[in-house]
Amino acid sequence: PMGARFRLQADYDISGFPLELQIILQAMKTYGIVLADNGSDWYVSGAPDARWDNDMLHLLDVLTGNDFEAVDTSVLMADVNSGEVR
């Protein structure tokens, strides 16, 4: 669902990716991602920027939903009826 938090599984092997992508993939393991359910299955997108190599970004197309685990963020909720977090 839109806005759900997921984390790349800790045992996902990132060693075969270019260094720039290893940094991003490690961040996905450490900090996770926020799912933007816009119709494509596990498609990774980025902001258009001339400094970014889109061909490199497409190397992440190998990621699937099975490579991620859901993150339970309910423990951060201060009140079920608000957007406040702890």
Q: Which residue has the higher pLDDT, 40 or 2?
A: 2
**The pLDDT of residue 64:** 92
Give tens-digit pLDDT for 22-58: 999 999 999 999 988 776 777 777 777 888 888 888 8
Q: What's the per-residue H, E or C state across 19-78? A: HHHHHHHHHHHHCCEECCCCCCCCCCCCCCCCCCCHHHHHHHHHCCHHHEEECCCHHHEC
Q: Which residue has the higher pLDDT, 53 or 68?
A: 68
Q: Mean pLDDT over residues 65-75, rounded?
A: 91
| Reported pTM | 0.81
**The pLDDT of residue 71:** 94
